[in-house]
Amino acid sequence: MTVAAKPTRKRAKKAVKKTVKAKTPQAKQKPAYNQQVHTMVVERGRRGGFSISVGGENALGKGYGAATGDRTRRTRVYSVGGADQHQDVRTLDKLRETARDFDRNNSIIHGACDRICDNVVGPTFGFRAQTDSEAWNKEAHEWMVAKMGPDTDVRGLFDFHELLGQTMRAMCTDGDQFILFVKGGQTQIIETQQVATPSDKRGSGHNVVNGVEMDRAGRPKAIYIGKQSYDGFLRAHSTSDDVTRVTAENFLWPAYRTRATQTRGVPIIASAIETIELLVDYLLNEATAAAIDACLAFLIQGDIDLDNLPDDQYTQDGTDGTGASTTETLQQIQAGTIARIGHNEKVEMIGAKRPGTQFAPYLKASLRIIGSGFGLPLELLLLDFSDGNFSSQKAAILQAQRKFRIWQSWLVRKVATPMYRRWIGQAVAAGDLQPNSQMDRVRWFPPQWAHVQPEVAMKALKEGIALGATSVTSWIEDGGQTIEEFATERRKEIDIFKGNGTETPIPSTGMEGVASLGKIAVYALNEQRELPDLSASDGSDDSDGNTDGDGDE
């Protein structure tokens, strides 16, 4: 019996050498494609952060055309890293200054920022304490209203409502904002460029990203605020001695973030900057062409008698006597210009006819693209409701209102509620308010929007109440009041009319149990007052749907 020799490393090397020698030119060709090997290599390449080649070709980016480049595709920077790698200091500074420039000098972008602030913050941003003690709620409300005045800001420039507006506008142009709590319970707004990393805190050993110091888990611990002179210029952050370190419990940091690994916020405008620049250039070129086309100019062409050339005509050196050449004269053409051209010269006017027929469609398409980055339809972006039908415009407005509600909820969570709880805690600590185990409970009433068809909205409300699908309370609270406040206001109004001997002006809703919102609200407070029986008043709806009271059609 023949026993196979035990394989050894030496024999294996010899076998490899024999295989190499035995290779033919055909064996040196490109190896066959192996799907299994390709898949493993791609996974390894993704995890390791480097590209792997199979058979001399890149194994990555073959599944999607967008991942491959060619000469017609815009050059992009591909890098594998967290969000902060794409949002370094220089990038963020450029984005912020560009966004601020648009807000200052571009009426469309300035209006878009106004529209967001107007709809999110609105004219009022009410609140009510939600403890079980009505007396404590009223006392806390009065204390907070006094606190939310001009003394909210340490400089005395902004009240609480204006601070909310400043925060929303900062999201549009800056991406984030810092609100410091200083002594005395006041606040101080710190703009985003003031928070930067000192030179002696840079590097991986300090865990400071763009002026924000973090712990090992990535939670903010402190920020470094640079000293800013009164003329607005920020001093260089040389060392920690030139900055102020503020710990996390002493500031709020609302920011617009779109990635989990993102530290600093980016402006909402950022994604639309390229489209805005293209549109601005297009409008400038169209305006220039239209201005030239609108100029009424006359060109006089003929032979020039150099011997009898007047002083105000062209000289032998080809100028008009003032040093300006014929070409320069034409370049400086203005409305009503009369220009002379030289012998054998001819000028052909290019008929611009600007703006062209595609001007308006291109403008609207560009503005729709820009508005989509803000969450604003074209109708709100331009405040122009002349195009489209009612249904399409209603759908666009409803979508915009959904976006505004999202921002309102965000503003409540990130700014309004934390400030309320901090101030209430200070009031209790100072003895201005009695301690209450529920003192952190608060409800906010952001602004709502009027219905474009109030009679339709009221009819839907009546039917919703009748079916039990909604309540009077929710409707009143959408208007920024509690039902108790509404009842109190309505009760005072009724007393005034009764005192003057005037019939209470409460129209009938024509539905049993919903005859008067004021009446329901008053009874909600268990106030036993004599009110007119409005459900049986003239003009109320009968069961047959008529208003004549006879029951017949």
pLDDT in tens, 498-552: 776 665 555 444 334 334 455 445 444 444 444 444 444 444 444 444 444 444 4
Give percent of the chain above pLDDT 90: 35
Is residue 528 in a domain?
yes
Per-residue pLDDT, 452: 76
Is residue 469 in a domain?
yes
Residues in the chain, overall count: 553
Per-residue pLDDT, 490: 83
User: Could you read off the pLDDT of 154-199 as tens digits, one per residue?
Assistant: 999 999 999 999 999 999 999 999 999 998 889 999 999 899 888 8
User: Could you read off the pLDDT of 288-336 as tens digits, one per residue?
Assistant: 888 777 775 555 555 555 565 555 554 555 554 555 544 454 455 566 5
Is residue 100 in a domain?
no
- ω before 355 within 30° of 0 (cis)? yes
User: Could you read off the pLDDT of 72-82 as tens digits, one per residue?
Assistant: 766 666 667 78
Number of domains in the chain: 2
Per-residue pLDDT, 333: 59
Is residue 174 in a domain?
no
Q: Is the per-residue pLDDT at 417 higher than 90?
A: yes
Is residue 463 in a domain?
yes
Per-residue pLDDT, 11: 58
Q: Is the per-residue pLDDT at 272 higher than 70?
A: yes
Q: Residue 264, Cβ neighbours under 10 Å: how many?
A: 23
Q: Is the per-residue pLDDT at 23 higher than 60?
A: no
Is residue 25 in a domain?
yes
The pTM of the whole model exceeds 0.85: no
Is residue 38 in a domain?
yes
More confident residue, 378 or 545: 378
Dihedral sign of CA atoms 520, 521, 525, 531 in order: negative
Residue 303 to residue 147: CA distance in whole angstroms: 84
Query: Which residue range is the domain that position 463 belongs to?
Result: 454-536
Question: What is the overall mean pLDDT for the chain?
Answer: 76
- Token reading at 85: 């790698």
Q: Where is the domain boundary, 67, 91, 117? A: 67
Residue type, 393: Q
Per-residue pLDDT, 203: 76
Of 224-228, 279-283, 344-348, 518-522, give the lowest mean pLDDT range.
518-522
Cα→Cα distances 53→38, 56, 79, 389, Å: 9, 6, 18, 56
More confident residue, 144 or 206: 144
Q: Where is the domain boundary, 67, 89, 115? A: 67
- E runs forming strands in 249-297: 251-252
Is residue 97 in a domain?
no
β-bridge partners, 180: 188, 251
Q: Where is the domain boundary, 41, 67, 93? A: 67
Strands across the sheet with 208-209, in order?
Answer: 208-209, 212-214, 220-226, 243-247
